[in-house]
Copies of this chain bind each other. A is one copy, B any other.
Amino acid sequence: MRRIIRVDTRKGILTEERANDELRRIGGRHFIAHILNTEVDPMCEPLGRYNKLIVSLGLFADTGLSTTGKLSVGGKSPLTNGVKESNTGGFAGRRLSRLGIKSVIFEDIPEKETTNVLYLSDDEIKLINMPQLRHKKVSETFRTLRGEFGENTGMLCIGPAGEMKMCSAGIASTDDKGIQIRYAGRGGMGAVMGSKGIKAIVIKANRTAEPEIYDAALLNKTNKDIIAALLDDPKSKNRKLYGTIDILETANRIGIIPTRNFSEGSFEPANEWIGIKFSDLIKERGGAGRSGTPCVPGCTIQCSNVFPDVDGEKIVASLQYENLVLLGPNLGINDLDTVGELNHLCNEVGVDAIECGAALGIAMEAGVRKFGDRDGAKELIREIGEGTYLGRILGNGAVFTGRAFGIRRVPTVKGQAMPGYDPRALKGNGVTYFTSTMGADHTAGNCFETVRTNDPLGTENQVYNSRQLQIRAAILDTMGVCLFTRPAFVKNPELLTNLFKAKFGWVVSLADIRHLGAKVLELERSFNEKSGACERFNRIPEFMREEPLPPNNTVFDITDEEMERIWDVPVRTDIF
């Protein structure tokens, strides 16, 4: 993959470049950080002319390696004002790689509102004006595009929230049948896409560009070993059986679940939704219901699901842990079907379910609706899609909603809502929220995996663990593989070094790969230092240092000073 497509959204002109060998070795999250640092003014207005929306494939996107097929989107975030990389599954990534397209970079903004579709195929690349898609919800957009461009088409789009440039808007992605809707949800990349007048990207790839692979046999073997390691790994097995909801039981027990706008850490009704019960329910309801489905073609882990209603009709696919807790416990909603519907509504209007759940929790604390009001919660999300005044408040995220209603309990860092891990009872994630270049984002370094080995309520090792995990995340996001492949690499780090050798002929040590991750973070930190989205100007919210979180009744008590020194902490370089 060496093709880089640039779209001048003001002039409607497409140009193409070819990545040289050096650029070829810069992929996914790394590529986004690279473009931001070399081409984007860190002080530009995120929804203005000088920001860029960067779609980028990972280093291994054209290898068929298990879990690749995800794609990264990034730019300067209107939520955090800093760098943002958000990745998603779906079928678009694999098709882009088949076309040999490494990246699509959207530049400038149109002078007037437009509803353009970028069409990429074997034969042509072009912008198509499709006003009929204006303000259409996500499913309908995908349906219309499938009607227009046929099956076997990779697609990305935004919903009305993105078109209205709401800062919680994400970019949706789907499979060929439109069953699953996945999201590059975090950081408001949907608003950036909206600002550029791009409603959707459609990718047809009938032929397949020959991938450049240095040692196909080694790649093949390594991939097989990774698959074997994952199939053998108990955590991965559980993910297939129960999806990400596998962690719900532990999360509720250790008291980290955002409940009623982060005022409590556990929610009793959620015990009825834990992994095994959730998958049993899917089985029992039958119909469209599925557990263990892939989010990208050929994934081994298959942690997705199709959650059906009592009649077996799909409510939402896929229902993930973070969305579930932000839209359920955080709103005091104790009915799983409602939670599924709320997630579906988020997907339809085109907002990040995490940011939206946090915004709704704040609105409920403000009395806009009562906690537990199922219909009320649905109305609120619909209002986002309709762009009512209330919808415009909520659709702009948690910080915005908190300010609108004068609420002080606003669970955000760097402008972005915290996902399903209250840092008062999982302190390592507080470190990640505070120090990550992405703001409050569990995927940037999720310390949940350390809870068995390190007391989540204690302050010990949290900074070390967060650092370790942040570097790992940066590596995997650069490779374009799922974070859930970690177990394979942790077990056998050689699989990782072999991959680089097989694909690029690049002989690297584990330390070199760690260095690559650290370098990506450094690039991102450099951008954020210049945009103001750095630790100095962004804190853990004051209420989290004051209000003890039931049931553990702990506050967040790692000092800023300790966290700010995270990059000085010595780490072992011999482990992944």
Task: Mark A residues whose CB is within 8 Å of B.
Answer: 43-45, 47-50, 164-167, 191, 194-195, 388-390, 392-393, 396, 400, 403-406, 408, 530-532, 536-537, 539, 541-542, 546
Q: State how many angstroms separate the Cβ of A568 from the closest Cβ of chain B.
A: 21
Docked-complex contact B45 and A406, CB < 8 angstroms = no
Docked-complex contact A44 and B542, CB < 8 angstroms = yes
- Residues in B whose Cβ lies below 8 Å from that of A191: 406
Out of B388, B530, B537, which one reaches A532, CB within 8 Å? B537
Out of B49, B392, B400, B546, which one reaches A405, CB within 8 Å? B392
Out of B47, B388, B539, which one reaches A43, CB within 8 Å? B539
- Copies of this protein in the complex: 2
- Residues in B whose Cβ lies below 8 Å from that of A194: 406
Q: State how many angstroms separate the Cβ of A197 from the closest Cβ of chain B.
A: 12
Docked-complex contact A537 and B43, CB < 8 angstroms = yes
Out of B406, B531, B536, which one reaches A166, CB within 8 Å? B406
Q: State how many angstroms separate the Cβ of A422 from the closest Cβ of chain B.
A: 19
- Residues in B whose Cβ lies below 8 Å from that of A393: 389, 392-393, 404
- Residues in B whose Cβ lies below 8 Å from that of A195: 406
Nearest opposing residue in chain B for A50, CB measure: B542
Q: State how many angstroms separate the Cβ of A497 from the closest Cβ of chain B.
A: 41
- Residues in B whose Cβ lies below 8 Å from that of A406: 47, 164-166, 191, 194-195
Tell me which of A167, A388, A406 has the highest count of chain B C-beta atoms within 10 A of its own C-beta: A406
15 contacts between A and B (CB under 8 A): A43-B539, A45-B542, A48-B542, A49-B542, A49-B546, A195-B406, A389-B393, A389-B404, A392-B405, A393-B404, A396-B404, A400-B403, A531-B537, A532-B536, A532-B537
For the complex, give the distance between the alpha carbons of A420 and B541 in Å.
Answer: 36
User: Which 3 A-B pairs have CB atoms at the shortest separation, nearest pair first?
Assistant: A165-B406, A532-B537, A389-B389
For the complex, give the distance between the alpha carbons of A43 and B534 in Å.
Answer: 12
Using known A-B contacts A50-B542, A532-B532, A536-B532, determine if residue A45 contacts B389 with beta carbons closer than 8 Å: no
For the complex, give the distance between the alpha carbons of A532 and B406 in Å.
Answer: 22
For the complex, give the distance between the alpha carbons of A116 and B243 in Å.
Answer: 53
Docked-complex contact B48 and A408, CB < 8 angstroms = yes
For the complex, give the distance between the alpha carbons of A195 and B403 in Å.
Answer: 12
- Residues in B whose Cβ lies below 8 Å from that of A541: 45
Nearest opposing residue in chain B for A390, CB measure: B389
Docked-complex contact B404 and A392, CB < 8 angstroms = yes
Q: State how many angstroms separate the Cβ of A81 from the closest Cβ of chain B.
A: 8
Q: State how many angstroms separate the Cβ of A395 from the closest Cβ of chain B.
A: 9
Using known A-B contacts A392-B393, A532-B532, determine if residue A408 contacts B537 with beta carbons closer than 8 Å: no
- Residues in B whose Cβ lies below 8 Å from that of A167: 403
Q: State how many angstroms separate the Cβ of A179 from the closest Cβ of chain B.
A: 31
- Residues in B whose Cβ lies below 8 Å from that of A537: 43, 531-532, 537
Docked-complex contact A47 and B396, CB < 8 angstroms = no
Using known A-B contacts A50-B542, A532-B536, A537-B532, determine if residue A45 contacts B408 with beta carbons closer than 8 Å: yes
Q: State how many angstroms separate the Cβ of A527 from the closest Cβ of chain B.
A: 13
- Residues in B whose Cβ lies below 8 Å from that of A531: 537
- Residues in B whose Cβ lies below 8 Å from that of A396: 403-404
Q: State how many angstroms separate the Cβ of A205 from the closest Cβ of chain B.
A: 34
- Residues in B whose Cβ lies below 8 Å from that of A403: 167, 396, 400
- Residues in B whose Cβ lies below 8 Å from that of A49: 542, 546
Nearest opposing residue in chain B for A165, CB measure: B406
Nearest opposing residue in chain B for A404, CB measure: B392
Nearest opposing residue in chain B for A391, CB measure: B389
For the complex, give the distance between the alpha carbons of A452 and B531 in Å.
Answer: 38
Q: State how many angstroms separate the Cβ of A356 from the closest Cβ of chain B.
A: 16
- Residues in B whose Cβ lies below 8 Å from that of A48: 408, 542
For the complex, give the distance between the alpha carbons of A54 and B372 in Å.
Answer: 41
List 11 additional contacts besides A48-B408, A389-B393, A532-B536; criterion CB under 8 Å: A43-B536, A45-B541, A45-B542, A47-B406, A48-B542, A49-B542, A167-B403, A388-B389, A389-B404, A392-B405, A532-B537
For the complex, give the distance between the alpha carbons of A195 and B542 in Å.
Answer: 15
Nearest opposing residue in chain B for A164, CB measure: B406
